[in-house]
C-alpha cells in the first residue's frame, strides 16, 4: 500500500452553518422533487379526471394535513431558492470570506422562513 496522506475525516472538520445550509439545500431539493412532483401530478390528474376527483384533491389539500404539506413545500422552495442564490454567489467567486460566508449561511434559512410567512399571509389574507 502506498504511503500517502489521507484526506481529512469528518472528525477533523468543525461543523458550521455553511455545512448545515449546504446539506439542507440537498434535502429541500429532494423533497421538492419527490413530494412536490407527487402533489403536482395528483393535482393535474384530479383536474383531468373531473369535478369529483378535483373536489377530493381540494378537500384533502384544504385539510390541516394538506396545509402542512403545502406550507412545507413552500418552505422547502424558499429555503432551496435562498440557498441556491447563496451557492450562485459562491460560484461566481464572491462570499468566500469566513464572516461573509457564515453570515449568509445563517441568513439564508431565516430569509426563507420570512418569505414563507409572507407568502402564506398573502394567500390567507387575500
Domains located in the chain, CATH noted: 17-125 (1.20.1300.10)
pLDDT digits (tens, 9 = 90+) for 47-63: 999 999 999 999 999 99
Q: Is the pLDDT of residue 125 over 90?
A: yes
User: 96 falls in which pLDDT band (50, 70, 90)?
Assistant: confident
C-alpha cell at 78: 424558499
Could you tell me where the DSSP H helices lie in 1-126?
Answer: 17-31, 37-49, 51-62, 64-91, 98-125
Q: Is 87 annotated as a binding residue?
A: no
Amino acid at each position: 500500500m502506498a504511503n500517502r496522506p489521507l484526506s481529512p475525516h469528518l472528525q477533523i472538520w468543525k461543523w458550521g452553518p455553511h455545512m448545515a445550509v449546504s446539506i439542507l439545500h440537498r434535502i429541500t431539493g429532494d423533497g421538492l422533487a419527490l413530494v412536490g412532483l407527487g402533489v403536482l401530478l395528483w393535482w393535474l390528474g384530479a383536474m383531468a379526471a373531473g369535478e369529483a376527483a378535483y373536489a377530493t384533491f381540494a378537500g384533502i389539500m384544504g385539510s390541516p394535513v394538506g396545509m402542512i404539506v403545502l406550507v412545507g413545500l413552500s418552505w422547502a422552495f424558499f429555503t432551496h431558492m435562498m440557498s441556491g442564490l447563496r451557492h450562485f454567489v459562491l460560484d461566481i467567486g464572491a462570499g468566500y470570506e469566513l464572516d461573509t460566508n457564515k453570515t449568509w449561511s445563517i441568513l439564508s434559512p431565516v430569509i426563507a422562513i420570512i418569505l414563507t410567512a409572507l407568502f402564506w399571509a398573502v394567500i390567507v389574507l387575500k
